[in-house]
Amino acid sequence: MGVLENKSRARLFYKYLSKVYDRINPFVWNEEMRDEALELLDIQPDDRVLDVGSGTGFATEGLLRYTDDVHALDQSIHQMEKAFAKFGRNDRVRFYRGDAERLPFKDDSFDVLWSSGSIEYWPNPVDALEEFRRVVEPGNRVLVVGPDYPETGPFQYLADAIMLFYDEHEAQRMFEEAGFVDIEHHIQQAAPGTPRAITTVARVPDADGGDEADAGAEAEVEA
Protein backbone atom coordinates (compact mmCIF):
# COMPACT_ATOMS: atom_id res chain seq x y z
CA MET A 1 0.00 0.00 0.00
CA GLY A 2 1.36 3.45 -0.94
CA VAL A 3 2.45 5.92 1.73
CA LEU A 4 -0.51 8.25 1.03
CA GLU A 5 -3.17 5.50 1.19
CA ASN A 6 -3.61 6.48 4.79
CA LYS A 7 -6.24 8.97 5.95
CA SER A 8 -4.18 10.98 8.43
CA ARG A 9 -1.17 11.16 6.09
CA ALA A 10 -3.41 12.27 3.22
CA ARG A 11 -4.90 14.98 5.47
CA LEU A 12 -1.41 16.22 6.38
CA PHE A 13 -0.36 16.11 2.71
CA TYR A 14 -3.35 18.29 1.72
CA LYS A 15 -2.71 20.75 4.55
CA TYR A 16 0.28 21.86 2.44
CA LEU A 17 -0.82 20.93 -1.09
CA SER A 18 -4.05 22.94 -0.70
CA LYS A 19 -1.96 26.13 -0.92
CA VAL A 20 -0.89 25.37 -4.52
CA TYR A 21 -3.41 22.73 -5.62
CA ASP A 22 -5.33 24.89 -8.10
CA ARG A 23 -2.09 25.99 -9.78
CA ILE A 24 -0.53 22.55 -10.28
CA ASN A 25 -3.67 20.44 -10.77
CA PRO A 26 -4.20 21.44 -14.46
CA PHE A 27 -1.00 19.62 -15.52
CA VAL A 28 -2.69 16.27 -14.86
CA TRP A 29 -6.43 17.04 -14.53
CA ASN A 30 -7.63 20.03 -16.50
CA GLU A 31 -10.97 21.62 -17.44
CA GLU A 32 -11.13 19.82 -20.77
CA MET A 33 -10.78 16.41 -19.08
CA ARG A 34 -13.29 17.35 -16.37
CA ASP A 35 -15.84 18.58 -18.92
CA GLU A 36 -15.38 15.45 -21.06
CA ALA A 37 -16.01 13.30 -17.95
CA LEU A 38 -19.08 15.37 -16.99
CA GLU A 39 -20.58 14.65 -20.39
CA LEU A 40 -20.44 10.92 -19.64
CA LEU A 41 -23.06 11.44 -16.92
CA ASP A 42 -26.27 12.91 -18.35
CA ILE A 43 -26.91 15.08 -15.22
CA GLN A 44 -30.40 16.63 -15.16
CA PRO A 45 -31.26 20.09 -13.70
CA ASP A 46 -33.18 18.63 -10.73
CA ASP A 47 -30.61 15.93 -9.93
CA ARG A 48 -29.17 15.80 -6.41
CA VAL A 49 -25.43 15.25 -6.88
CA LEU A 50 -22.72 14.26 -4.38
CA ASP A 51 -19.05 15.13 -5.04
CA VAL A 52 -16.78 12.91 -2.88
CA GLY A 53 -13.23 14.15 -2.24
CA SER A 54 -14.34 17.52 -3.58
CA GLY A 55 -11.16 19.31 -2.49
CA THR A 56 -10.88 22.93 -3.60
CA GLY A 57 -14.06 22.58 -5.68
CA PHE A 58 -12.57 22.15 -9.15
CA ALA A 59 -15.06 19.46 -10.18
CA THR A 60 -17.82 20.94 -7.98
CA GLU A 61 -17.69 24.00 -10.21
CA GLY A 62 -18.33 21.84 -13.28
CA LEU A 63 -21.20 19.99 -11.56
CA LEU A 64 -22.89 23.34 -10.76
CA ARG A 65 -23.28 23.97 -14.47
CA TYR A 66 -25.74 21.04 -14.62
CA THR A 67 -27.69 21.31 -11.34
CA ASP A 68 -28.06 23.64 -8.33
CA ASP A 69 -28.39 20.70 -5.92
CA VAL A 70 -24.70 19.92 -5.32
CA HIS A 71 -23.32 18.38 -2.10
CA ALA A 72 -19.58 18.16 -1.53
CA LEU A 73 -17.63 16.01 0.95
CA ASP A 74 -13.93 16.03 1.80
CA GLN A 75 -11.79 14.97 4.75
CA SER A 76 -9.39 17.95 4.52
CA ILE A 77 -10.54 21.21 6.06
CA HIS A 78 -7.65 22.97 4.31
CA GLN A 79 -8.90 21.90 0.90
CA MET A 80 -12.48 22.74 1.88
CA GLU A 81 -11.52 26.26 2.94
CA LYS A 82 -10.36 26.93 -0.64
CA ALA A 83 -13.77 25.74 -1.84
CA PHE A 84 -15.60 27.91 0.74
CA ALA A 85 -13.75 30.91 -0.71
CA LYS A 86 -15.19 30.09 -4.16
CA PHE A 87 -18.77 29.10 -3.29
CA GLY A 88 -19.43 30.34 0.25
CA ARG A 89 -19.74 28.01 3.25
CA ASN A 90 -23.31 26.92 2.75
CA ASP A 91 -24.60 28.97 -0.11
CA ARG A 92 -24.43 27.38 -3.57
CA VAL A 93 -23.06 24.06 -2.28
CA ARG A 94 -23.79 21.98 0.86
CA PHE A 95 -20.42 20.98 2.33
CA TYR A 96 -19.67 18.05 4.64
CA ARG A 97 -16.41 17.15 6.27
CA GLY A 98 -16.21 13.37 6.19
CA ASP A 99 -14.71 10.14 4.96
CA ALA A 100 -15.40 8.54 1.58
CA GLU A 101 -15.44 5.13 3.24
CA ARG A 102 -18.15 6.09 5.77
CA LEU A 103 -20.55 8.50 4.15
CA PRO A 104 -22.86 10.46 6.51
CA PHE A 105 -25.95 10.02 4.33
CA LYS A 106 -29.03 7.81 4.32
CA ASP A 107 -29.52 5.12 1.67
CA ASP A 108 -30.61 6.35 -1.79
CA SER A 109 -29.94 10.03 -0.94
CA PHE A 110 -28.49 11.03 -4.34
CA ASP A 111 -29.29 10.78 -8.05
CA VAL A 112 -25.66 11.00 -9.17
CA LEU A 113 -22.30 10.58 -7.44
CA TRP A 114 -19.02 12.01 -8.74
CA SER A 115 -15.53 11.52 -7.33
CA SER A 116 -12.39 12.76 -9.11
CA GLY A 117 -8.78 12.30 -8.01
CA SER A 118 -9.57 10.98 -4.54
CA ILE A 119 -9.79 7.16 -4.77
CA GLU A 120 -5.98 6.91 -4.84
CA TYR A 121 -5.86 8.00 -1.16
CA TRP A 122 -8.47 5.61 0.23
CA PRO A 123 -7.05 2.60 2.10
CA ASN A 124 -10.14 0.49 1.27
CA PRO A 125 -11.51 1.66 -2.09
CA VAL A 126 -14.08 -1.13 -2.34
CA ASP A 127 -15.57 -0.05 1.02
CA ALA A 128 -16.00 3.47 -0.39
CA LEU A 129 -17.53 2.13 -3.62
CA GLU A 130 -19.99 0.07 -1.55
CA GLU A 131 -20.92 3.29 0.25
CA PHE A 132 -21.44 4.98 -3.13
CA ARG A 133 -23.79 2.17 -4.16
CA ARG A 134 -25.69 2.55 -0.88
CA VAL A 135 -26.26 6.33 -1.11
CA VAL A 136 -27.17 6.47 -4.82
CA GLU A 137 -30.70 5.62 -5.97
CA PRO A 138 -31.01 2.18 -7.60
CA GLY A 139 -30.63 2.35 -11.39
CA ASN A 140 -28.53 5.56 -11.21
CA ARG A 141 -24.88 6.20 -11.94
CA VAL A 142 -21.57 7.03 -10.29
CA LEU A 143 -18.37 8.29 -11.90
CA VAL A 144 -14.90 7.85 -10.40
CA VAL A 145 -11.67 9.31 -11.80
CA GLY A 146 -8.36 7.85 -10.59
CA PRO A 147 -4.77 7.51 -11.79
CA ASP A 148 -4.16 4.94 -14.55
CA TYR A 149 -1.35 2.46 -13.83
CA PRO A 150 1.93 3.54 -15.53
CA GLU A 151 3.20 1.39 -18.41
CA THR A 152 6.89 1.27 -17.54
CA GLY A 153 8.80 -0.38 -14.67
CA PRO A 154 10.43 2.57 -12.83
CA PHE A 155 7.17 4.57 -12.85
CA GLN A 156 5.24 1.52 -11.66
CA TYR A 157 7.62 1.14 -8.72
CA LEU A 158 7.25 4.83 -7.81
CA ALA A 159 3.45 4.77 -8.26
CA ASP A 160 3.07 1.70 -6.00
CA ALA A 161 5.14 3.40 -3.30
CA ILE A 162 2.97 6.53 -3.24
CA MET A 163 -0.71 5.71 -3.72
CA LEU A 164 -3.23 3.57 -5.60
CA PHE A 165 -2.70 3.49 -9.37
CA TYR A 166 -4.85 0.95 -11.20
CA ASP A 167 -5.70 -0.35 -14.65
CA GLU A 168 -9.05 -1.19 -16.27
CA HIS A 169 -8.88 -4.78 -15.08
CA GLU A 170 -8.49 -3.68 -11.44
CA ALA A 171 -11.17 -0.98 -11.82
CA GLN A 172 -13.56 -3.61 -13.18
CA ARG A 173 -12.79 -5.91 -10.23
CA MET A 174 -13.34 -3.17 -7.63
CA PHE A 175 -16.63 -1.97 -9.10
CA GLU A 176 -17.96 -5.51 -9.55
CA GLU A 177 -16.97 -6.40 -5.97
CA ALA A 178 -18.87 -3.31 -4.78
CA GLY A 179 -21.96 -4.54 -6.64
CA PHE A 180 -22.13 -2.20 -9.66
CA VAL A 181 -23.36 -3.11 -13.14
CA ASP A 182 -22.90 -1.60 -16.64
CA ILE A 183 -19.29 -0.65 -15.83
CA GLU A 184 -17.30 1.24 -18.48
CA HIS A 185 -13.82 2.77 -18.42
CA HIS A 186 -12.34 5.74 -20.32
CA ILE A 187 -8.69 6.77 -20.41
CA GLN A 188 -8.08 10.53 -20.28
CA GLN A 189 -4.87 12.54 -20.59
CA ALA A 190 -4.01 16.27 -20.42
CA ALA A 191 -1.15 16.02 -22.98
CA PRO A 192 1.08 13.29 -24.46
CA GLY A 193 3.60 12.10 -21.88
CA THR A 194 1.60 13.30 -18.86
CA PRO A 195 0.01 10.85 -16.40
CA ARG A 196 -3.25 9.31 -17.63
CA ALA A 197 -6.51 9.24 -15.70
CA ILE A 198 -8.87 6.28 -15.67
CA THR A 199 -12.52 7.37 -15.53
CA THR A 200 -15.07 4.71 -14.64
CA VAL A 201 -18.83 5.11 -14.98
CA ALA A 202 -21.02 2.44 -13.38
CA ARG A 203 -24.65 1.93 -12.47
CA VAL A 204 -26.29 0.90 -9.20
CA PRO A 205 -28.42 -2.21 -9.94
CA ASP A 206 -32.17 -1.71 -10.28
CA ALA A 207 -34.15 -2.20 -7.05
CA ASP A 208 -36.46 -4.81 -8.60
CA GLY A 209 -33.60 -7.22 -9.34
CA GLY A 210 -34.14 -6.68 -13.07
CA ASP A 211 -30.38 -6.66 -13.68
CA GLU A 212 -30.00 -10.20 -12.32
CA ALA A 213 -32.94 -11.29 -14.47
CA ASP A 214 -31.30 -9.69 -17.55
CA ALA A 215 -27.96 -11.37 -16.77
CA GLY A 216 -29.76 -14.71 -16.46
CA ALA A 217 -31.47 -14.19 -19.80
CA GLU A 218 -28.11 -13.43 -21.47
CA ALA A 219 -26.56 -16.53 -19.91
CA GLU A 220 -29.40 -18.62 -21.29
CA VAL A 221 -28.93 -17.21 -24.79
CA GLU A 222 -25.17 -17.85 -24.66
CA ALA A 223 -25.70 -21.45 -23.47
Ligand X SMILES: C[S@@+](CC[C@H](N)C(=O)[O-])C[C@H]1O[C@@H](n2cnc3c(N)ncnc32)[C@H](O)[C@@H]1O
Name residues contacting ligand X, limited to 25-44 (CB under 6 A): 25, 29
103 vs 205, beta carbon nearer ligand X: 103
Q: Among 54, 188, 199, 200, which residue interacts with ligand X (rule: CB under 6 A)?
A: 54
Q: 3-state DSSP call for residue 206?
A: coil
Query: Positive or negative, the Cα torsion across 117, 120, 123, 127?
Result: positive
75 vs 200, beta carbon nearer ligand X: 75
Distances (CA, A) of 55 to 80, 111, 131: 6, 21, 19
**How many other CB atoms sit within 10 Å of the CB of residue 206?**
15
Helices 125-135 and 168-177 sit at what angle, rounded to 10 degrees?
A: 50
The CB-nearest residue to ligand X is 55
DSSP-assigned letter for residue 8: H
**Cα angle value 173/29/63 (rounded, 5°):** 85
199 sits near ligand X (criterion: CB under 6 A): no
CB of 121 to ligand X, least distance (A): 4
14 vs 180, beta carbon nearer ligand X: 14
**How many other CB atoms sit within 10 Å of the CB of residue 48?**
17
CB of 78 to ligand X, least distance (A): 8
Name residues contacting ligand X, limited to 103-122 (CB under 6 A): 116-118, 121-122
Name residues contacting ligand X, limited to 55-114 (CB under 6 A): 55, 58-59, 74-76, 79, 99-101
Contacting residues toward ligand X, per CB under 6 A: 7, 10, 14, 25, 29, 53-55, 58-59, 74-76, 79, 99-101, 116-118, 121-122
